[in-house]
Amino acid sequence: MTTTFNDLGVAPDLASRLASRGIDEPFPIQVAMLPPALAGRDVCGKAPTGSGKTLAFGIPLVTRISQARPRRPRGLVLAPTRELAGQIEKELTPLAAVRSRSVAAFYGGVGFGHQLNALRRGVDIVVATPGRLADLVDRGDIRLDEVDIVVIDEADRMADMGFLPEVRRLLDQVRPDRQTLLFSATLDGDVDVLVKRYQHDPVRSEVRATEEAVDLTEHAFWAAPRELRTELTVRAIDHFGSAIVFCRTKRGADRLTKQLGAHGVTAAPFHGDRTQQQREKALAAFMKGRVQALVATDVAARGIHVDEVGVVVHHDLPADHKDYVHRSGRTGRAGAAGAVVALVPPDQASEAKKLQRKLGMVPGTSTPPPPVLADGQPVVRAPVRNDVVPGPAVKGPHHNPSNDQRRRKPVPRPGPPRRGPGGGGGTRRTGTRSA
């Protein structure tokens, strides 16, 4: 017998709403966190991307909070990025509607007007980035003194992005006997301080990368001369249909977007110099399959949740293993197979080895540089599958060999590089099942 949401104490009306979206078997983080959170305890969950944290806190929120008065929300979710806040709002809104509760997201980059109207009517659950919420509090548009439940989502990313002082300032304004739910991929350093200071005897749970979340993702490091990186990225996108491509700098991302366009790949830049509207447009086009690739920087891409991204390409190597995990979490989400390709220029071979060691992979398993065809065109011998290249593919940190043959895209074949206009790229779903 598998556990059901009912077994965990989730009310039938909410469980059947979830079931209508095909969600009927709780993920491990939900199994661990729902009973204590529904009972009013503080919880502290360590779980990787794609493990189902949103419902782990969303169900208790919707279940336990009462109706808000104007400007005084009863539930508060703090999230590191606008995109993530927007996606949490989207996932929780239909669930909250079952109990006639309202959800609204507040983040920078969009005007205040619409948000203020919502607040004046009363918003039961506020989802916000720390900066925007602080603005609203400072302006007197929102008061946190009636918040009963606070959720701190992706606390490690908030720490990485320098938001913790702001988060602490906000938490200090919430009544001390509130319930606090904290989720993070890592629980060390600054996050631990947050737990000790703002949580009361929390139930702790660590969910390792599960089969659903990570194991289906295959990681490959391709030895790639710098001048071939664009071509290799094009091949990866062509093969997998869609990609999120990472660059270290905004200018690099702009440049690569243009180069991909010249190779017939439809791509959109996604970084901090783009306006909120431009980013939303790019994300929407990507989800609909009108754009094959988002070319992103690390900070901008945090918290983007798009199911069925074909491949994540590290066009530039990440700064460290944490960024590698964050970036790679954009694929292979919630049971879908994913592929991750990192391009390793010769002068960064030792950096790549260090990265692999920290990730628990076998270091030094970059495959040889892709050969050049007689006509001078480079060819990717994709090491993603071991039937093309003799060199070993690199397995992810929690690889389970029994998954090898499941739902995996077949091997890319060497062939002439693609010119011509872009096309194809299937549609992708947003992070919510109901979308």
Distance from C-alpha of 270 to C-alpha of 254, rounded to nearest angstrom: 9
| # residues contacting Mg ion (CB under 5 A) | 2
Which residues does 8 contact at the CB level (< 8 Å), separation at least 6? Answer: 26, 30, 31, 34, 35, 38
Which residues, numbered 295-334, are part of the site for ligand ADP (CB under 6 A)? 305, 307, 333-334
101 binds, among ligand ADP, Mg ion, none (CB under 5 to 8 A by kind): none
When asked if residue 204 is in the footprint of ligand ADP (CB under 6 A), the reply is: no
202 binds, among Mg ion, ligand ADP, none (CB under 5 to 8 A by kind): none
For ligand ADP, which residue of 7, 25, 166, 211 counts as binding (CB under 6 A)?
25
Spatial strand order in the sheet of 217-223:
267-270, 293-296, 243-246, 311-314, 338-344, 217-223, 394-395
CB nearer to ligand ADP: give 238 or 307.
307
| # residues contacting ligand ADP (CB under 6 A) | 20
CB nearer to ligand ADP: give 153 or 316.
153
CB nearer to ligand ADP: give 45 or 130.
45
Q: Minimal distance in Å, beta carbon 376 to ligand ADP?
A: 44
CB nearer to Mg ion: give 57 or 106.
57
CB nearer to ligand ADP: give 30 or 81.
30
Of residues 207, 172, 169, the one with CA closest to residue 187: 207
179-184 vs 43-46, strand pairing mode: parallel
According to DSSP, the residues that pair with 217 across neighbouring strands are: 338
SS3 state at 63: helix
Q: Minimal distance in Å, beta carbon 308 to ligand ADP?
A: 10
Which residues, numbered 331-370, are part of the site for ligand ADP (CB under 6 A)? 333-334
Which residues, numbered 41-80, are part of the site for Mg ion (CB under 5 A)? 53-54
Q: Minimal distance in Å, beta carbon 343 to Mg ion?
A: 28
Q: Minimal distance in Å, beta carbon 227 to ligand ADP?
A: 36
Give the tokens for residue 275: 């306006």
When asked if residue 244 is in the footprint of ligand ADP (CB under 6 A), the reply is: no
Give the tokens for residue 304: 């983007």
Q: Which amino acid belongs to residue 282?
A: A
Of residues 229, 232, 226, 166, the one with CA closest to residue 194: 166
Distance from C-alpha of 146 to C-alpha of 174, rounded to nearest angstrom: 7
Q: Residue with CB nearest Mg ion?
A: 53
Distance from C-alpha of 191 to C-alpha of 325, rounded to nearest angstrom: 18
Of residues 426, 427, 418, the one with CA closest to residue 261: 418
Which residues, numbered 71-90, are part of the site for ligand ADP (CB under 6 A)? none
Burial 168-189 (b: 16+ CB within 10 A, else e): eebbeebeeebbbbbbbbbbee
Q: Minimal distance in Å, beta carbon 43 to ligand ADP?
A: 14
For ligand ADP, which residue of 8, 33, 37, 54 counts as binding (CB under 6 A)?
54
When asked if residue 431 is in the footprint of ligand ADP (CB under 6 A), the reply is: yes
SS3 state at 179: strand
When asked if residue 381 is in the footprint of ligand ADP (CB under 6 A), the reply is: no
CB nearer to Mg ion: give 52 or 345.
52
For ligand ADP, which residue of 15, 23, 92, 164 counts as binding (CB under 6 A)?
23
Q: Minimal distance in Å, beta carbon 79 to ligand ADP?
A: 10
DSSP per residue, 322-360: HHHHHHHTTSSGGG--EEEEEEE-GGGHHHHHHHHHHTT
What DSSP element (H or E) covers 35? helix 28-38
For ligand ADP, which residue of 15, 26, 115, 352 counts as binding (CB under 6 A)?
26
For ligand ADP, which residue of 14, 43, 51, 348 counts as binding (CB under 6 A)?
51
Taking contact as CB under 6 A, which single stretch among the options 23-31, 120-128, 250-258, 317-325 is the one that binds ligand ADP?
23-31
When asked if residue 178 is in the footprint of Mg ion (CB under 5 A), the reply is: no
Pair 44, 187: CB distance under 8 Å: yes
Which residues does 139 contact at the CB level (< 8 Å), separation at least 6? Answer: none
Query: Which residues sit at the interface with ligand ADP, rule CB under 6 A?
Result: 23, 25-27, 30, 47, 49-55, 305, 307, 333-334, 431-433
Residue numbers at the binding site for Mg ion (CB under 5 A): 53-54
